[in-house]
Amino acid sequence: MPLDTLTLSAIADELRDQLLGGRVQRIVRPSALALGLEIYTGERHQLLLSAEPADAVVLVTTEKLRRGEETASPLQLLLRKYVRGARLRAIEQPELERVLRFRFEGEHGEVELVCEIMGRLSNLILVAPDRTILGAAKPVPPAINRYRTILPTHPYVPPPRQEKEHPLLLTPALLAEMLRADGGGLPLWRRLVQGVAGISPLLARELVYRATGEVEPEGRLSDEAVRNLVNETVGMFRLAETHNWRPSIARRRGDPADAPLREYAPYLLTHLPGREEVASIQEAIRLVRAAAGGIDPYARVRQRLKKALEEQIGRLEARLNAQREALAPEEELERLALQGNAILAMAWEIQPGQTELVVNPQDFLADGALSATELRIPLDPARSPAENAQSYFEEYRKRKSANERLPQLIAETEMQLAYLRQLSTDMDLAEDRAQLDAVRDELAEAGVLAGHKRAKGAPQGEPLMARGPDGTPILVGRNSRQNDLVTFRRAAPDDLWLHAHGVPGAHVIIKSAGRPVDERTLRQAARLAAYYSAARHEAHVQVDYTERRYVRHIKGAPAGMVTYTRERTLIVEPETGEP
C-alpha cells in the first residue's frame, strides 16, 4: 500500500531518533529506482529509499542492502561524491506532503536528497544549496512536464500543492458545506479524500468509522456526526505535533481470517479486522512487506539471467527432440535393408520407368521380423534397379551410423539440460547478489552469457551451515559449486548425503562420521534439501539419502552433477526452521 503523509511523518520521527548525526559509509543501488544508504551512528543502519512505482518507500531494513543493478546510475555516482562520508544533519517533511528531505553535510558542503514518495510519480532528487537539481533517479524533461522539469542545472520545484482544505483548519460548517456541494453521490470517505489535503483512502475510512461507527454510513450526516468527524480529523493530524503514534497492522476487509495482515498505519486501525499493535511504523511496514513477499531487489539481474537460461534451455530441448527423432527404430533399419535386397533380388522383373515394386517380405526375412504381408517399395524411375537398391543401402548405413552415435549425443544433451535446470534453480534460490553473481559466472563458463568473464578473486560464497536438534552439523550447498564443495571436499565417505528426488536442488550433508543419525536431525536435513530445491513450493517432497561414499561425480559433467546408489527415501514438508 502507498505511504500517506501521516505515515511519512511517523517514519520521519523514527528516522530522526535512529539516524541523525550518522555518517554515510556505503551507497548501493538495489534496483533501478532505489538507493540504499548504510549510515553509521555507533551501529550500522540500512536505509532504503525507493522510488519504484510498485514499492515506493523510505525504510530502515533489517538486512544489509546489496547491489541489484549491474552499473551505477548517474544519481548514485553523484551521491558517492556528495553524500558518502557526509553526516546526516536533518530530516524534514513539508507540511501535508508525501515528501521527506534528507540534508547531508560533507566534504563538498551541504546537499539535500529529496524523496518524493507518491506512487508512480515517486522520485529521488539530489538538490544543491541554491535549490538547483544535481541529479534524479527519474529525469523528467520539459516535453513531459513543463512545470516540473527534473533535470540537472534546473531549479528544484516542489510538487504542486493540492487545492483542498487544510485538515487542521477544518470546521463543522466548512465540512458540512463541502458535503452539501457534493450532493451525496460518493461515499463519505471518498468525499474526504477529494476535499481534505493529506487524507488517503485508508485514513478516510478510519476517520469515518471513528466518527459514525460505520465505514460507509447511509443518508445525510447529523450535526453531531459532522462535529465528530471534524474532531477526529483534527486530532489525527495533531499526531504530527504530539508524536503519540500507535502503529498497527490489520487484515483488509473481506479477507479470510487466516489471510496475511496487509494494511499498516501509524494509528490504530479500528475499522479493520485482525488488528495488531506493533512497536514502530517501520516494523509495521516490514511485516506487511514480508507477508506480501516484498519487491525483489535483484529482479533485473534475475530476469536477465532467466531470459538467457530459458533461451538456451529452449535450444537444447529442440536439439534433444531432433536427436531423439533421428534415432531410427530397429524395425526401420530392417525395412531399409529388406528394400535394398528385394530390389536386387527382383531386378529382372523391374521394367524401365517402373515407380513401385511390390514384394512379400517373408520371402526375404526368414525370422518374420516384419509382419506385413505386402511391402510396397517406391522406385525412382530415372534410376536403374542397382541404383535404386544402392540408395536404400546408403540410407540404411546412414541411419545405422547415426544410431551408433546418437545415444552418446543424447546423453550429453540431457546432461547439459540437467545442468542448466540446476542453474535455473540456483538462480531462483539465490538470496543475495553474491549468489546471483555465482550463477552468472557458471552461465558464462557454460557459454550461455557471451562476453562475461568470472572476476578474479570473486567470492564464491559459503554453504549454509545448520545444526540438527542433537547438535550434529548440517551443510547445505545452495548452488552448483557449493554442491560440489560440500559433497566432495567437506564430506567424509561415511557422512550422510541428501537430495530432493528427481529435481534440481541442494546437496545436503549430515556430518555424522558414521555414527547413527538422530531421526529429528535426519528429517531436518531432509526438509532443508526439499526447501533448497525446485520443489520447494510443493506440499510434500520426496528426498533421497545415502552415505556419501555411494555418490559419484558424473565423468565429464559440470560441477555438482552426480549419480548415487543404495539410497533410501523420506517424504517431508519443505522448510528451513527447526523441527
Q: Where along the chain do the CATH 1.10.8 domains lie?
A: 167-291
Is pLDDT at 253 greater than 90 in this prediction? no
Query: Which pTM was predicted?
Result: 0.63
Selection from 215, 210, 180 nearest residue 195 by Cα: 180
Average pLDDT of the chain is 88
State the pLDDT at residue 371.
56
pLDDT per residue as tens digits for the range 120-167: 899 999 999 999 999 999 999 998 888 899 999 999 999 988 889 999
Q: Which three cell numbers, joined as nine digits, stand for 456?
A: 578474479
User: Do residues 51 and 116 make contact, with C-beta atoms less than 8 angstroms apart?
Assistant: yes
User: Do residues 274 and 261 make contact, with C-beta atoms less than 8 angstroms apart?
Assistant: yes
Report the percentage of the chain scoring pLDDT > 70.
93
- Say whether domain 5-136 belongs to CATH 3.30.70.260: no
State the pLDDT at residue 579.
36
Task: Look up the CATH number of domain 167-291.
Answer: 1.10.8
Alpha-carbon gap, residue 219 to 210, rounded angstroms:
17
Is pLDDT at 577 greater than 80 in this prediction? no
User: Do residues 481 and 347 make contact, with C-beta atoms less than 8 angstroms apart?
Assistant: no
CA–CA–CA angle 7, 165, 265 (5° rounding): 15
State the pLDDT at residue 7.
96
Q: Where along the chain do the CATH 2.30.310.10 domains lie?
A: 5-136
Instruction: Compare 559 and 115 and report the one with higher pLDDT.
Output: 115
Note the helical H segments in 346-459: 385-429, 433-445
Is pLDDT at 578 greater than 50 in this prediction? no
pLDDT bucket at 514, cuts 50 / 70 / 90: confident
pLDDT per residue as tens digits for the range 223-242: 999 999 999 999 999 999 99
Under DSSP, is residue 53 helix (H, G, I), strand (E, B) or coil? coil
Alpha-carbon gap, residue 79 to 37, rounded angstroms:
10
